[in-house]
Chains A and B, each alone.
Chain A
Amino acid sequence: MANYSTNEFRSGLKVMLDGDPCSIIENEFVKPGKGQAFSRVRLKNLKTGRVWDRTFKSGESLEGADVSEQNMQYLYNDGEYWHFMEPETFEQHQADKTSVGDTALWLREQDTCIVILYNGSPLAVAAANHVDLEITQTDPGLKGDTAQGGTKPATLSTGAVIKVPLFLNEGEVVSVDTRTGEYLNRAKK
């Protein structure tokens, strides 16, 4: 991979730091009246999700990280690995629990999601912002209670538990915002 100098640091640039792939969030140029200029850089470690603040001398460089984002179809989970497929090449990738993390709660077979590849292997997985999932378990709702507020917990086909309005029943399909885990609306089956 190419090396990037501090004056090429832009938000979104993927670089290697302490052996981990990172994404630059922001880069602030700081210079005293005379003397050494610096870049104060905020980076997100793409492996751990942790945010780092590091200061570099202007002109220092970091190695680019071989990180790319790919839309892939989620195939299945074999108990240990989650399997994904690139839609055009049919090439398959397997991701472990560390890479999939909480996204597992929103993965429905056949759905398209975003897989972040690092050196060709899945590093992280993000579900689509909105997914439609079936309610597999919830307490019976109250007939006619459509307008009032009030929610109850419902377990979805993926195992996620969310709050849904009282009138929804098992077997119905709901749209969920995967970023917040919030119920959006009732969806068609």
Chain B
Amino acid sequence: MSDNVNTGIQWRPTASNDALIKRARLLAQVREFFALRRVLEVDLPVLGERTVSDPHLDSLSTEGSQHYLQTSPEYYMKRLLASGSGPIYSLGKAFRANDRGRQHNPEFTLLEWYRPGWDESQLMAEVADLLQDVGCAPNAVAQRVTYRDIFLATVNLDPHRASLAQLVQLASDIAQRNMRGESRATCLDLIFSFEIEARLPPGVVFVHDYPECLCALAQLGVDGQGVTVARRFEVFLDRTELANGYFELLDANEQRQRFSEDNRQRKIMGKAEIAADEKLLAALDEGLPSCAGVALGIDRLLMHLVGAQHIDEVIAFSS
């Protein structure tokens, strides 16, 4: 099918009919999965007064009213958890400015869920169940590997104990430019994204026990070697990053500190500071139940299910 031959205006969907049918089926499967497990679907605002302070995320804001399109439903979900919602999931749109590429569209579909009383290990098992249920790698067993082991196996460096100089050296080799002055976190992200991700085993792979400097909103713990690690995991499906989960940070004061640290970083990066979400902090003050949470990119999962090379092939109308 071609677009209008006279005007050349490309009005047709970017996704095939087959991809749209598979999308509808996937959304139904996800809802059924959680209905059977008695996890409540919550339908949350995409337009909010506050947004994340994460220096690596840029929110889209609305003109005039100073609201933000949400980069994830996380803060709303935590307020629900603190008010006693029990296990909840959200399946909806999220927005991230400037994210555009083969696997990124500024507007995308995010599945996020929280399990009060669970830790990240239990949640990883549930993610594996979900992936199996929707037809991913039906016969493959999900593998788990620590961030340390995959680093050691691939680049022969211990990510927790390597010196900053060693990380900068390796990052510079990969980037083909001098990365001196960059942080541990940036070097680790670079090494992982370019050197390790592409060499992960195929199928479903859980990478867990992240370095402390990559903790984001995860609690810290101590691993078998006595090293402080972030209780965070990422899920890879055929070497594509699919989901990111935490044993969630509960401490309101720690959260306050991370907000101000984010803003300090934003300032260095020349980005506008983001006011802390006081309602989230008040909810945390009241008490968030111990829980594990994960966010999973539905479009990427769909790319895998239909064998798409570009995210545009699974989105009816890409941005």
Chain A residues engaging chain B, CB cutoff 8 angstroms? 7, 28-38, 40, 52-59
Interface residues of B in 192-246 (CB under 8 A from A): 192-194, 214, 216, 232, 234, 241, 243-244
Contact indicator A34/B99 (Cβ below 8 Å): no
Contact of A55 among B190, B192, B216, B232 (CB under 8 A): B190
Contact indicator A32/B193 (Cβ below 8 Å): yes
Contact indicator A55/B186 (Cβ below 8 Å): no
Q: B56: CB under 8 A from chain A?
A: yes
Report the separation of the CA atoms of residues A7 and B101 in the bound assembly, to the nearest whole angstrom. 10
Which of B38-46, B170-178, B277-285 faces chain A?
Answer: B170-178
Task: Take A28-B102, A34-B54, A34-B56 as given contacts and tell me if A55 and B176 are in contact as well, using a CB distance cutoff of 8 Å.
Answer: yes
| Closest chain B residue, CB of each to CB of A29 | B101
Listed from nearest, the 9 A-B pairs whose CB atoms lie closest are: A29-B101, A33-B244, A55-B175, A36-B189, A35-B189, A34-B216, A33-B234, A36-B186, A54-B176
Q: List 11 A-B contacts (CB under 8 A).
A: A29-B100, A30-B101, A31-B101, A33-B243, A34-B244, A35-B56, A35-B185, A35-B189, A55-B174, A55-B190, A56-B177
In the bound complex, residues from chain A placing their C-beta under 8 Å from that of B232 are 34
Distance (whole angstroms) from the CB of B271 to the closest CB of chain A: 8
Report the separation of the CA atoms of residues A33 and B192 in the bound assembly, to the nearest whole angstrom. 11
In the bound complex, residues from chain B placing their C-beta under 8 Å from that of A31 are 56, 99, 101, 104, 193
| Closest chain A residue, CB of each to CB of B246 | A34
Task: Take A38-B193, A40-B194, A55-B190 as given contacts and tell me if A32 and B175 are in contact as well, using a CB distance cutoff of 8 Å.
Answer: no
Contact indicator A33/B176 (Cβ below 8 Å): no
Q: B269: CB under 8 A from chain A?
A: yes
Contact indicator B54/A54 (Cβ below 8 Å): no
Report the separation of the CA atoms of residues A37 and B96 in the bound assembly, to the nearest whole angstrom. 12
Q: B98: CB under 8 A from chain A?
A: yes
Contact indicator B185/A55 (Cβ below 8 Å): no
Contact indicator B244/A55 (Cβ below 8 Å): no
Distance (whole angstroms) from the CB of A48 to the closest CB of chain B: 15
Distance (whole angstroms) from the CB of B79 to the closest CB of chain A: 21
In the bound complex, residues from chain B placing their C-beta under 8 Å from that of A28 are 101-102
Contact indicator B98/A55 (Cβ below 8 Å): no
Contact indicator A38/B176 (Cβ below 8 Å): no
In the bound complex, residues from chain A placing their C-beta under 8 Å from that of B177 are 54-56
Contact indicator B186/A57 (Cβ below 8 Å): yes
In the bound complex, residues from chain B placing their C-beta under 8 Å from that of A53 are 176
Task: Take A53-B176, A55-B190 as given contacts and tell me if A37 and B244 are in contact as well, using a CB distance cutoff of 8 Å.
Answer: no
In the bound complex, residues from chain B placing their C-beta under 8 Å from that of A29 are 99-102, 104
In the bound complex, residues from chain A placing their C-beta under 8 Å from that of B214 are 34-35
Contact indicator B189/A32 (Cβ below 8 Å): yes
Instruction: Point out which of A29, A34, A38, A56 has the most chain B C-beta atoms below 10 A from its C-beta.
Output: A34
Distance (whole angstroms) from the CB of B104 to the closest CB of chain A: 6
Contact indicator B234/A55 (Cβ below 8 Å): no
Contact of A52 among B54, B98, B104, B176 (CB under 8 A): B176
